[in-house]
Every structure is written in structure tokens, then in C-alpha cells.
Amino acid sequence: MGDEPGGPRYEPRRTRRVSIVSSFVFAALIVASSLAVGATAAAGQEADCGDRASLLVTVLDESGSIVLPGATVVLRWTDAERMPVREAADADGRLRVCVPRDATEAVVWAEFGDHSSGQAAPAALVSGEEREVRLRILSSVPSGRLIGRLVDRETGRPVATAAVSVVGRPAESASDGQGRFRLTGVPAGRHELRVRRLGYAPLRHAVDVTSGRTTELEVGLVREPVELEPLVVSTTRSRRLEIKGFYERKHWGELLGLGTFYTAEDIERRNPLRISHMIEELPSIRRGLHNARAGCRLSVYLDNVRVGLDLDAFVLPIEVAGVEVYKGPASLPAEFGGSDSRCGVVAVWTK
């Protein structure tokens, strides 16, 4: 079954689960991705960036000898308040990105199945110049990721330019203007997180990293010489939703008021009899997922596949990992756009 809208219709009560359990399956993913990437996508990535800076990312296997078409490249601007780029590499395992004029710094990494690359911070992005980055997917060592946000424990304001690392690992991440940081390719197991920032008490905190999962942290740093204990709150993200871009859309959608989002924890807490019951509690959404404001029914996608009229016939609340609700075309992310989405979209993701 494909992931693109308009593909085969979804079969009721069937949850797809993908896992990489051997090098054979990893190789099969490479072949499948090669077949899935069309020439049109490749041509589109050769677009001329004019006088803007550009970034050319190539994704390779761990040996550095095989390109990985279809790998997901994620690029986050560290000095500009913009939504991160999340796109698939072309048939040559490459992605070219034109840099926004207000951005000069970024971090970039790649994802392929349940595996990730380390992250890279390209040299300063200069107008009219192209920077090349080569990323290797770390497939032989079970690994996970650490992402988080640093805040001042007293004021709640983000703490930028702090050095974040895992003790015994060479990689180090600097928190950006919103206090965010990310460490990819961290071996599974228990590690010690270290945070250092001038003017704040240094922090060392034990954290568990799970293979193929993302651990999210919120760290409250304390100013020296204030006698307070640092505060760390840890949660684990769904790897499936991470790869599909759910958390990025949730962050920006809630920040800009573009949509409503439910996680598995929200659904478990509400414990609805049917998943449609939660959606129909939203203002202007009526029984049958009818958008009263637009006068028509919301389009419904299950794991990015268009489904029929009765969403509840295809999935139970206990099977759902996340839900996105957009009430009109103006709020829709690009991946859910199209003429059949003019009344809004409900996107449901299974576990």
C-alpha cells in the first residue's frame, strides 16, 4: 500500500508496522526507495536559487558507497524562525535546498526507515554560494535521538548558544534562538547528558535512549549562584510520527493556530468510544465530520491514504498514534493540499 493520497483504499482495522531487523531488509528498503522516486522530483531539485545560498545534501549508507534515494532529509534553520524543511532525496540520493534570505545557519540530518544519520552544521550559508553536505545513515549500531529545549527555570525564557552533548560522544549541539537542540545517532542505552552555558550552573543528567525512538527533553537551567536544582522533564516520541513530520506540523500548527492535534496520550486520556467523537467536539465540526463553516465534509486520510465516509470502520481509538485536523485550505500543509481538500482535512496516523 502506498503512502500517497489517491492510492489504494485503506482496509478496515489494519495497522501497518515497519521494522528493520537485518541488513537484508535495509538493502530492500534501498531498492524500494529507488523505484519510488520519479524523474520529476529529481528535476525539481535542480532549481536555480539565483543569488540566494543553496545547500546540496547527499544521503549515503554507512559505508559511504551507496546512495539512498527516498531518504528523508530534515533541515532546521537555527537563526531564523521558519518551519524546518522535510523532504525526500531524489533518485541520486540528493536534495538541493534554496536557503531563505534571512537564514545563515542550519543543522541537517537524514532518516531512513528506523535509522538516522548524525547531524551536520554546514559552514556559514552565503548568498550565491552552495554548500555540500554528505550524510551517512548509521544502520549497524542501534541508535535513537535526543531532542529538547533549554529554558531559564526562573523566567521560562529559552536559553540559546548552550553546548549540549552526551558524555563520551564527540558530537555536540548548540541550542538555537528558541533554546532547541538535537542529537542524532546516539547509541541505545543509558547515557549522561551534559549542558554547559556561561552564567548557568552546568547540568549532568542521566537519560535513556531507545533504538529507533526519539526522547524529548525540557531542561530548566538555573543561573549561578542561585540555589535551585535543575529541572528535566522527559517524554518519548513515536518514531513513526517523527518520520511522517507530525511533530513539526503540530509545533507550527499550534504556534500559528493552523490546526488541532491529538497524540496517543490525548486519546487515552479522553478515552472516546470512536475516534470521530473527539473530532466532532471541535467548533463547526458536525456529525459525520461535516464542516459547517464550509458546508461540506472534511477529507479523511488514514496513514496518508484517502478513506471512505466512515473513518470509524477503519480504525479504533486504541490503534491511533496521532490526529491532525485542518478546517480549511488556508491552514493546510503542502502535503495535504489539492482540490479535494477545500473543505479541510482530517489526517489520522496509526501506531
**pLDDT, tens digit (0-9, with 9 covering 90-100), for 149-194:** 999 999 999 999 999 999 888 778 889 888 999 888 888 889 999 9
| End position of a domain, from candidates 136, 170, 202 | 136
My answer on whether 258 and 345 are in the same domain is yes
State percent of the chain over pLDDT 70. 85
Mean pLDDT of the chain: 82
Host domain of residue 320: 244-350
Question: Which pLDDT score is estimated for 15?
Answer: 38
Question: Which pLDDT score is estimated for 325?
Answer: 95
Question: Which pLDDT score is estimated for 21?
Answer: 40
Question: Which pLDDT score is estimated for 30?
Answer: 55
My answer on whether 345 and 249 are in the same domain is yes
Mean predicted confidence (pLDDT) in 252-278: 91
Does any domain span residue 85?
Answer: yes
Mean predicted confidence (pLDDT) in 63-79: 89
Tens-place pLDDT, residues 5-64: 444 445 554 433 333 344 444 555 555 555 444 433 433 445 578 899 999 999 999 889
Q: Has residue 195 got a pLDDT over 70?
A: yes
My answer on whether 210 and 124 are in the same domain is no
- Please give the tally of structural domains in the chain: 3
My answer on whether 207 and 269 are in the same domain is no
Does any domain span residue 5?
Answer: no
My answer on whether 261 and 210 are in the same domain is no
Question: Which pLDDT score is estimated for 24?
Answer: 47
Does any domain span residue 99?
Answer: yes
Report the CATH number that the domain containing residue 315 is assigned in CATH: 2.170.130.10
Instruction: Tell me the whole-structure pTM to 2 decimals.
Output: 0.50
Lowest mean pLDDT among 122-131, 183-192, 329-338: 329-338
My answer on whether 224 and 251 are in the same domain is no
- What is the DSSP pairing of strand 296-297 with strand 115-116? unpaired
Lowest mean pLDDT among 67-71, 141-145, 161-165, 340-344: 141-145
Mean predicted confidence (pLDDT) in 125-149: 87
My answer on whether 251 and 226 are in the same domain is no
Q: Has residue 221 got a pLDDT over 60?
A: yes
My answer on whether 168 and 214 are in the same domain is yes
Grouping H, G, I as helix, E, B as strand and the rest as coil, residue 151 is strand
Does any domain span residue 79?
Answer: yes
Question: Which pLDDT score is estimated for 33?
Answer: 54
Instruction: Encode the chain in three state secondary structure.
Output: CCCCCCCCCCCCCCCCCCCCCCHHHHHHHHHHHHHHCCHHHHHHCCCCCCCCCEEEEEEECCCCCCECCCCEEEEEECCCCCCCEEEECCCCCEEEEECCCCCCCEEEEEEECCEEECCECCCCCCCCCEEEEEEEECCCCCEEEEEEEEEECCCCCECCCCEEEECCCCCEEECCCCCEEEEEEEECEEEEEEEECCCECCEEEEEEECCCCEEEEEEEECECCCCCCCEEEEEEECHHHHHCCHHHHHHHHHHHCCCEEEEHHHHHHHCCCCHHHHHCCCCCEECCCEECCCCEECEEEECCEECCCCHHHCCCHHHEEEEEEECCHHHCCHHHCCHHHCCCEEEEEEC
Question: Which pLDDT score is estimated for 124?
Answer: 83
My answer on whether 226 and 309 are in the same domain is no
My answer on whether 132 and 148 are in the same domain is no
Does any domain span residue 3?
Answer: no
Q: Has residue 111 got a pLDDT over 70?
A: yes
Does any domain span residue 287?
Answer: yes
| End position of a domain, from candidates 136, 164, 199 | 136
Could you tell me the pLDDT band of residue 227, with boundaries at 50, 70 and 90? low
Task: Give the C-alpha separation, 275 to 325, whole Å.
Answer: 12
My answer on whether 91 and 179 are in the same domain is no
Does any domain span residue 16?
Answer: no
Does any domain span residue 128?
Answer: yes
My answer on whether 346 and 260 are in the same domain is yes
| End position of a domain, from candidates 237, 257, 274 | 237
**Nearby residues of 28 by Cβ (< 8 Å), 6 or more positions away:** none
Report the CATH number that the domain containing residue 90 is assigned in CATH: 2.60.40.1120
